Amino acid sequence: MQDHLINYLKQQVGPEHVLTSPEERWTYAYDATDRAAMPDAVVFPGSAAEVAAIVRLANAHRFPVVPRGAGTGRSGGSVPIEGGVVVVLTRLNRILEISKNDLVAVVEPGVILGKLKAAVEAEGLYYPPDPASAEFCTIGGNVAECAGGAVAVQYGVTRDYVLGLEVVLPTGELIEAGTRTMKGVVGYDLTRLFLGSEGTLGIITRITLRLVSKPPARQTLAAGFDTMEAAAATVSLILRSGLTPTALEFMDHVTLGCVQEMLPFALPAGTAALLLIAVDGQPQDVADRVGRIAQCCRDQGASPVLESKTPEEAEGLWRARKVVSPALLKVKPHKVSEDVVVPLGSIPALISALQDIARGRGLIIPSYGHAGDGNIHVNILYDQQVERERQAVPLAVEDLFTMVRKLNGTLSGEHGIGLTKAPYLGMELSPAALALQRRLKAAFDPLNIMNPGKIFPGPPPP
């Protein structure tokens, strides 16, 4: 990157907020995938106006701009694959307002999700989305990827809580989208279009979130099963029971093996799957529904079925769930994580297909995740040093995506396409749909400077 551009950036945001040494830049080359690419510079703007100045410079000199929060993404979305400037939004980290009267929060994109959730709960309110990275990830990244988490079964995902956004467009203008109100249909829904747009349509500089009342009670239940099939069948039964669980998570036996010592109880040796279930509501109602769900699990042969007696016990269960992803590296040093979703009735078929793929490709493929909404995190484990395993991984990924599409599923529920899934996009979107998506991108970003190389496979057609 030319010196005069670096100098201009330093003038705009202050020299101490621009990183240029190779060591410093390398720190912002990667996210939570195994992809990395060196940026030309890393900039930490302190205001929306500074973000806009960076974007206008990028338009004038046609260099890529890659927005980034905490870098916890799982699809390479913030990896600067075509170089350019990484715009780190961690200085925009103020909670501007939590309004009990309006049931909204107004925040900057760099706020850590866990801090936001705690601040909201201190006011007796609740912001539900809870990706496993909640203690590290930023709310801006959550919006850009449309993050989910365990309680989506009852409460939905980030999309369902974003009312309004302030955004610097790829062309440099600052606009407001959406509302501070619970409803709104004025013009095209730009707010939800930015949700999950993976930093390719603009840089979010302020977010208005809908809040809900804090549920007065939550109980957690754990149920062990002898077979995967029994666990999957129980998930279907619970979803159709009208007992409306808040979360309905599952872990298979490989996953359980990796987090067993964190669980607040011992599991029998033959446990093939664990369901982790939460129920929110008024205390007596929660107790009733937890009792009926527990009975439903026992009827399906679950043993043990344990209701958490204290908040600490429940927290222990959820803590174990949240460290599953890194814990799997105990089994093999490398992994590819997918987050496919299938229609609810196809969960048993997917679980069974995963076992076939693992056998067929000679790989260990543990799965866990959000059984309650059909969003299963599939982890293909391997050792980079073992050629056979290394070569089998992309074949297993293709097997998986082929099966998911056959089951009318989707390639990603909450991690996004980014870099890692871009080559597979054509398995889900038709050429006409893809062409429309490219026209849409061009309407926002005619010079293709905003996070280029993401979502779409290959270079854009001329």
Of 363-422, which residues contact its own copies (CB under 8 A)? 370, 373-375, 408-417, 421
Among 38, 174, 262, 364, which residue sits at the site for its own copies (rule: CB under 8 A)?
174
Among 97, 189, 299, 356, which residue sits at the site for its own copies (rule: CB under 8 A)?
189
Nearer to its own copies, 160 or 313 (CB): 160
| Tally of residues, the chain | 462
**Residue 60 lies near its own copies (rule: CB under 8 A):** no
Structure tokens at 169: 């467009």
Stretch that binds its own copies, among 28-36, 78-86, 381-389, 425-433 (CB under 8 A): 425-433
**Residue 130 lies near its own copies (rule: CB under 8 A):** no
Nearer to its own copies, 27 or 402 (CB): 402
Q: According to CB under 8 A, which residues from 69 to 98 bind its own copies?
A: none
Among 21, 269, 387, 439, which residue sits at the site for its own copies (rule: CB under 8 A)?
439
Among 2, 442, 458, 460, which residue sits at the site for its own copies (rule: CB under 8 A)?
442
Using the structure block, give the residue that is written with the tokens 């076939």: 356
Structure tokens at 125: 């309110």
Stretch that binds its own copies, among 30-38, 108-116, 177-185, 221-229 (CB under 8 A): 177-185
**Residue 434 lies near its own copies (rule: CB under 8 A):** yes
**Residue 102 lies near its own copies (rule: CB under 8 A):** yes
Cis amide bond preceding 245, omega within 30: no
Nearer to its own copies, 41 or 296 (CB): 296
Question: Sign of the CA dihedral 86, 88, 89, 91?
Answer: negative
Q: According to CB under 8 A, which residues from 234 to 253 bind its own copies?
A: 236, 239-242, 244
Task: Provide the minimum distance between the beta carbon of 273 and its own copies in the complex, in angstroms, as a whole number.
Answer: 20
Among 262, 344, 364, 395, which residue sits at the site for its own copies (rule: CB under 8 A)?
344
Nearer to its own copies, 117 or 361 (CB): 117
Task: Provide the minimum distance between the beta carbon of 270 and its own copies in the complex, in angstroms, as a whole number.
Answer: 29
Nearer to its own copies, 378 or 381 (CB): 378
Residue 44 CA to residue 60 CA, distance in Å, equals 20
Nearer to its own copies, 259 or 351 (CB): 351
Q: Are 144 and 199 in contact (CB under 8 A)?
A: yes
**Residue 346 lies near its own copies (rule: CB under 8 A):** yes
Whole-angstrom Cα Rg for the chain: 22
Residue 293 CA to residue 66 CA, distance in Å, equals 46
Nearer to its own copies, 102 or 398 (CB): 102
Q: According to CB under 8 A, which residues from 295 to 314 bind its own copies?
A: none
Q: Are 58 and 105 in contact (CB under 8 A)?
A: no
**Residue 180 lies near its own copies (rule: CB under 8 A):** yes
**Residue 99 lies near its own copies (rule: CB under 8 A):** yes
Stretch that binds its own copies, among 40-48, 58-66, 85-93, 434-442 (CB under 8 A): 434-442
Distances (CA, A) of 10 to 13, 16, 273: 5, 8, 54
**Residue 195 lies near its own copies (rule: CB under 8 A):** yes
Residue 98 CA to residue 144 CA, distance in Å, equals 21
**Residue 134 lies near its own copies (rule: CB under 8 A):** no
Q: Give the count of residues interacting with its own copies (CB under 8 A).
A: 92
Query: For residue 20, which phi and psi values (nearest 5 degrees)?
Result: -135, -15
Q: What does DSSP say about strands 247-252 and 65-68: parallel, antiparallel, or unpaired?
A: unpaired
Stretch that binds its own copies, among 7-15, 19-27, 80-88, 183-191 (CB under 8 A): 183-191
x/- letters, 142..161, toward its own copies (CB under 8 A)? ---xx-x---x---xx-xx-
x/- letters, 261..290, toward its own copies (CB under 8 A)? --------------------xx-xx--xx-
